[in-house]
């Protein structure tokens, strides 16, 4: 009797864990993909359509997702509330506050959009931006995740701090995620690792030649300034 009960408990725990993983996978698919339908959400997560529908109904009922008249799911008020709470008082609040002046200076100096990104496993996630004032500019990447592998922001986030307080190295890429879009990125050094990365993204035709060199210098300066704002003791070690 005891063994049977133990087996049943283990099975229930495994089922609950699998259900939670599926719910989170569906939520992540909607956050990443924007407004997507049931079939697309199921396909993106590898979850059977009937199971995906059941979990999406739960998320919708709790306000984490909303469903429009076309049957597409997008983030709901409960998700926004949690995200704002994490942004304002979570572990990245201090990083964002320290980087905001640098982002503004980058956007003003380079006339292109500037971003702050952090690493989430095998992905880089953009968490803050100051957009360019130009009519043609890069926009809309806050909340977006991109692969660490094969991207300039990924290289920066995966780099190592060989000497705390050292001047960071810039990373470059064109067309890794979007055609004809160039990225110039520098890591924000922490006391023991990489705290985040600052990027400037814009049309490849504008980010070229001497302008690219000046942009790289500005991004490196901004990343170092943000690092020192976060970790003032690093200035002593320089």
Q: What is the pLDDT of residue 238?
A: 53
Same domain, 126 and 56: no
Which one of 49, 82, 115 terminates a domain? 82
The domain boundary residue, chosen from 82, 99, 128: 82
69 phi and psi angles, rounded to 5 deg: -70, -20
Q: Based on the domain organization, do 58 and 96 belong to the same domain?
A: no
Q: Name which of 231, 134, 225, 235 is nearest 192 in CA terms.
A: 231
DSSP symbols for 98-167: HHHHHHHHHHHHHSSEEEEEEEETTEEEEEEEE---SSS-----TT-EEESTTSHHHHHHH---SSTTPP
Question: 132-180 pLDDT, tens per residue?
Answer: 998 888 888 888 889 999 999 999 999 988 776 689 999 999 999 999 9
**Within this chain, do residues 99 and 214 fall inside the same structural domain, yes or no?**
yes
CATH number of 54's domain:
1.10.10.10
How far, in Å, CA of 139 to CA of 50, rounded?
Answer: 36
| Same domain membership, residue 130 and residue 214 | yes
Supply the angle between the helices 49-61 and 2-33 in degrees, to the nearest 10.
80
Residue 10 is predicted with a pLDDT of: 59
Question: Which of these three, 28, 54, 82, is where a domain ends?
Answer: 82
Q: How many independent structural domains does the chain possess?
A: 2
Range of the domain at 52: 2-82
Mean pLDDT confidence for 201-206:
94
- Identify the weakest region by mean pLDDT among 11-20, 61-70, 126-135, 207-216: 11-20
């Amino acid at each position: 009797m005891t063994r049977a009960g133990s087996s049943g408990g283990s099975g229930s725990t495994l089922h609950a864990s699998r259900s939670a993983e599926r719910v989170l996978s569906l939520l992540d698919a909607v956050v990443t993909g924007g407004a997507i339908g049931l079939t697309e959400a199921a396909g993106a997560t590898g979850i059977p359509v009937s199971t995906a529908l059941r979990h999406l109904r739960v998320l919708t009922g709790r306000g984490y997702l909303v469903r429009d008249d076309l049957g597409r799911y997008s983030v709901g008020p409960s998700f926004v509330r949690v995200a704002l709470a994490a942004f304002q008082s979570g572990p990245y609040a201090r990083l964002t506050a320290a980087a905001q002046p640098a982002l503004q200076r980058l956007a003003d100096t380079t006339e292109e959009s500037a971003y702050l990104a952090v690493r989430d496993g095998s992905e880089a996630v953009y968490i803050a931006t100051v957009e360019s004032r130009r009519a043609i500019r890069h926009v809309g990447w806050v909340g977006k995740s991109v692969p660490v592998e094969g991207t300039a922001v990924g290289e920066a986030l995966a780099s190592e701090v060989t000497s705390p307080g050292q001047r960071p190295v810039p990373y470059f890429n064109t067309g890794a995620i979007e055609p004809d879009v160039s990225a110039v990125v520098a890591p924000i050094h922490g006391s023991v690792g990489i705290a985040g990365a600052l990027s400037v993204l814009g049309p490849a035709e504008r980010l070229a030649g001497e302008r690219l060199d000046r942009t790289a210098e500005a991004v490196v300066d901004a990343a170092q300034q943000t690092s020192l704002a976060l970790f003032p003791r690093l200035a002593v070690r320089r």
